[in-house]
Chains A and B, each alone.
Chain A
Amino acid sequence: MTMAAGGCATAQPRAWDEVPRPTSERDAYGTDIAYARERDAVEEQYSAPEGVEFNFEDGDLAASADYSVERVAQERAVVPEADSDWGATAPTPEPAPRYAQADPPQPRRPSSGGSTVPAEPAPTQTDALPADTALLIYTAVLTVAVLHVEEQQDALQQLAESVGGHLARRDARTIVVRIPVRRFPEVLRATEAAGDVLDRQVETEDVSEEFRDTTIRLRNLEVMRTRLETLLTQASSVNDALAVEREMQRVTDEIERLRGRIRYLTDQIAYSTITVHFRPRAAEIVRVDEFRLPFRWLDRLGLSRLLEVR
């Protein structure tokens, strides 16, 4: 038995390979039909924690309403502006198509491969995401000279919160805010208008490939875990059961790691990060309390000098 997890295949025999599998029919691609049905049933029931939901069958990969990749892609479409220079990478100007509207599902080979070569290449799971949908992470780092650092920090924090963002970090001179990606340009412009921009770095990172790969690896591991659960019920000896449980633990750990990575990427895609280092602009110090008329004879008044007779 060969397992594919995250693109890594291993041909090493495992203890659970010895567990007899029920005889089943196979489709044209060599897929175990019973296995495929079981997998599909699990996928339908599967609901990832913390609002992340994946539905691979129709090609739709979505998280919660706020973190939907589709929504991110649509938001991405409104981010660039023709006259703006903040974005290094211009996303597609057209609304991203729904993944459900992508190519209809095709019979897929199981990750373990099959002995029968299909007439046409089966679509890979990466096809679930439109090829032209760029999943981008926007970050900006500014150094701005202002007269009143605290006031500007307060203003930026309020602006971030007013557009649905939030404060990520703040200290005496630096503030980090997270901004919904579609509001990123306007917040960036407002930040730049707060003072003299001494340094400005705006970066775009395309994580489309990583996101798709991670999603595929997660899906495969989920299927594998389901299979392992089945195998565990069929274990004929304690040693076999222990071996299956060890492998289930490893797969579960990897699943959690990938889920965390997907959550992180989804958050980074949905919320841009603006870091602003404020520098206090040199200001004239006005000592109002010590205002003195510039007439030296006034300094010669008073008892100390008057009474110092010679």
Chain B
Amino acid sequence: MGARRSSCSLVAAALTCLIALSGCGASFELTPPDSFVRLEDDQQEADGYELRAVSNDGVVIAMQVVEHRVTGTLTFWSEAVLRRLRDQAGYGLLSADDVQAATGQAGRILRLGRDLNGRVYRYTVVVYVTDASIFIAEAGGPEEAFVAVEADVEAALRGVRLR
């Protein structure tokens, strides 16, 4: 049992991402749950993500980092994200809470739901704002699969380390 636990820790360590964004000087560490694998960086960056990891059940975790040139408060940006998703993309807000990153920065978690192609999906997004960057941590997937890993996913999104 102890060997297995050690093995899991190694896998987790291997999946821990330390990403330095040379463009805006921001970096973050996000450790996806054990059941996720991180996709190749080059492809994800081409798609606009700093990190993206997937599970076998179709749940995806991702991180976007936006240069904070137009400065605003966490309240402003989290509200902007919510309105865009709810008012213009058809998501339903299930709940929202204030959170804190592992490094102490304040954040806001939004838990949303949406029907897509006849299936129910869950989508969770956490907004962190620093002086230099806006960090958008996302996770989503089919509801049944997402609920199964929701706690781990939220732990990963809350446990992000920002610099």
User: Which A residues have a C-beta under 8 Å from some C-beta of B?
Assistant: 290, 292-293, 295, 297-310
Contact A309 B52 (CB under 8 A): yes
Contact A300 B48 (CB under 8 A): yes
Contact B81 A309 (CB under 8 A): no
Contact A292 B88 (CB under 8 A): yes
Contact A303-B114, Cβ < 8 Å, known A293-B84, A297-B64, A297-B136: yes
Identify which of A295, A302, A308, A310 contacts B89 (C-beta below 8 A): A302
Contact B114 A310 (CB under 8 A): no
CB distance from A304 to the nearest CB of B (A): 8
A297: nearest chain-B partner, CB-CB: B66
CB distance from B25 to the nearest CB of A (A): 17
Identify which of A293, A300, A309 contacts B60 (C-beta below 8 A): A309
Contact A306 B80 (CB under 8 A): no
Q: Chain A contacts of B52 at CB under 8 A?
A: 306, 309
Q: Chain B contacts of A308 at CB under 8 A?
A: 47
Q: Chain B contacts of A299 at CB under 8 A?
A: 84
CB distance from B74 to the nearest CB of A (A): 15
Chain B contact residue count (CB 8 A cutoff):
29
Contact A302 B80 (CB under 8 A): no
Q: Could you pull out 16 A-B pairs where Cβ atoms are within 8 angstroms? A: A290-B88, A295-B80, A297-B134, A299-B84, A300-B64, A301-B85, A301-B89, A301-B136, A302-B91, A303-B121, A305-B47, A305-B48, A306-B60, A306-B140, A307-B141, A309-B60
A38 to B118 CA separation, bound complex (whole angstroms): 100
Contact A301 B138 (CB under 8 A): yes
B66: nearest chain-A partner, CB-CB: A297
Instruction: Give the interface SS of chain B, mostly helix, strand, loop or mixed.
Output: strand
A292 to B54 CA separation, bound complex (whole angstroms): 30
Q: Chain A contacts of B64 at CB under 8 A?
A: 297, 300
Q: Does B128 contact A (CB under 8 A)?
A: no
Q: Chain A contacts of B9 at CB under 8 A?
A: none
A298 to B89 CA separation, bound complex (whole angstroms): 11
- Most chain A CB within 10 A, of B70, B85, B88, is at B88
A298 to B79 CA separation, bound complex (whole angstroms): 11
Identify which of B47, B80, B123, B138 contacts A293 (C-beta below 8 A): B80
CB distance from B68 to the nearest CB of A (A): 11
**What are the nearest 5 A-B pairs in CB distance?**
A297-B66, A298-B84, A303-B140, A303-B123, A306-B140
* Residue-wise interface mask of B (129-156) relative to A, using a CB-CB cutoff of 8 A (1 in contact, 0 not): 0000010101011000000000000000
A301 to B123 CA separation, bound complex (whole angstroms): 10
Q: Chain B contacts of A300 at CB under 8 A?
A: 48, 64
A279 to B45 CA separation, bound complex (whole angstroms): 54
Q: Chain A contacts of B85 at CB under 8 A?
A: 301-302
Q: Chain A contacts of B162 at CB under 8 A?
A: none
- Starting from the known contacts A295-B66, A303-B116, 8 additional A-B residue pairs (CB-CB under 8 Å) come to A297-B136, A302-B89, A303-B121, A303-B123, A303-B140, A304-B116, A305-B48, A306-B60
* Residue-wise interface mask of B (102-126) relative to A, using a CB-CB cutoff of 8 A (1 in contact, 0 not): 0000000000001010000101010
A292 to B80 CA separation, bound complex (whole angstroms): 9
Q: Does B30 contact A (CB under 8 A)?
A: no
Q: Chain A contacts of B125 at CB under 8 A?
A: 301
CB distance from B71 to the nearest CB of A (A): 12
A299 to B89 CA separation, bound complex (whole angstroms): 9
Contact B39 A302 (CB under 8 A): no
Contact A301-B81, Cβ < 8 Å, known A309-B39, A310-B43: yes
